[in-house]
Amino acid sequence: MFPAQPASSLLRFSLVALWLALPAALAAQAVSPVADALYARVNSFDFLLAYSNDSSHILMGQAEQRKILNVGASYSRRLFLNPVVNWQYDAEILPAALESDPLTRIVNQETSPVSATSTTYGNPPMVSCAPQTITYVIPVGSMVYAGTETFTCSGRQWTIGEAISPIGMRWNFLPRRTFQPFFEGHGGDMFSTHPIPVQNAGSFNFTFDFGVGLEWYRTHSRSLRFEYRFHHISDHNTTNYNPGIDNGLFQVSYVFGR
């Protein structure tokens, strides 16, 4: 009888250990197919191209007819995943962040002391491209110079810059599907080679954006993103004049990772 006692205890211990381990094993078997069925990478990298052909007063910006062209890359890290949503941290870097301002044409129609008309091109950008006319009367000694100046947009200059958005989040919905709608937002800054969008604004600006899009998973590791964003540029009143720029930005990205 005594020799059987250790074997019986060992058997009881083995059965208890098996009973405790069984739920975990079953859970692991249940989770694995679900995780495999979801289109959601842990780490993602992408190359992006973004463009906006115009700007207007959407929310805060005042500068009109500004264009934006961005070329860069981003990194995403998965934070939370279930069958409904894939929540990711997302950061972007733009080594080529280009902004375009319309230049100003000035037509001077002098009425005194003689009648004459002159036109100059390539003057610094205006905030609004709506035609503006001012009347002037300037006494100089015994002479009086009088007339009108009309300002309109004519021509364009591109400004080279670079930008980074280290603060960003993206939420992909319905990760079981190959076509996933998403919502996102970013915050960062931009440095340009000269002030934008007008001459007395700043060359260092803050940026933020938010938008919606659709991600198309070709495989579990590769996808394409198509999105539309509201994009804002502003120096946050760190200079004497801060009209700000609001753009509707279209962006396409090629994404890979695992």
What is the Cα–Cα distance from 146 to 222, expressed in whole angstroms?
A: 67
Among 139, 156, 173, the domain-final residue is 156
Sorted by sequence, the CB contacts under 8 Å of residue 89 that are 6+ apart come out as: 76, 77, 79, 168, 169
Residues 95 and 191 in one domain: yes
The per-residue pLDDT for 15 is 46
3-state SS, residue 165: strand
Other CB atoms within 10 A of residue 9 CB = 10
What is the Cα–Cα distance from 108 to 102, expressed in whole angstroms?
A: 19
The domain tally of the chain equals 3
Among 156, 181, 201, the domain-final residue is 156
Residues 124 and 194 in one domain: no
Residues 186 and 243 in one domain: yes
Residues 31 and 124 in one domain: no
- Listed residue (104, 55, 29, 2) closest to 247, CA to CA: 55
Residues 149 and 109 in one domain: yes
CA of 148: how far to CAs of 118, 141, 145, 231, in Å?
11, 20, 10, 37
Whole-structure pTM value? 0.81
The per-residue pLDDT for 132 is 94
Residues 64 and 187 in one domain: yes
Residues 207 and 251 in one domain: yes
The residue range of the domain holding 21 is: 1-37
Residues 25 and 95 in one domain: no
| 41, 88 contact by CB (below 8 A) | no
The per-residue pLDDT for 220 is 94
In tens digits, the chain (258 residues) has pLDDT values of 444 445 455 445 444 444 444 454 444 444 445 556 799 999 999 999 999 999 999 999 999 999 999 999 999 999 999 999 999 999 999 999 999 999 999 999 999 999 999 999 999 999 999 999 999 999 998 899 999 999 999 999 999 999 999 999 999 999 999 999 999 999 999 999 999 999 999 999 999 999 999 999 999 999 999 999 999 999 988 998 999 999 999 999 999 999
The per-residue pLDDT for 36 is 62
Sorted by sequence, the CB contacts under 8 Å of residue 10 that are 6+ apart come out as: none
Residues 253 and 136 in one domain: no
Among 156, 177, 192, the domain-final residue is 156
Residues 152 and 164 in one domain: no
The per-residue pLDDT for 35 is 52
Residues 96 and 164 in one domain: yes
The per-residue pLDDT for 3 is 47
Residues 13 and 51 in one domain: no
Residue 97, domain CATH: 2.40.160.20
Sorted by sequence, the CB contacts under 8 Å of residue 177 that are 6+ apart come out as: 39
Structure tokens at 22: 């069984």
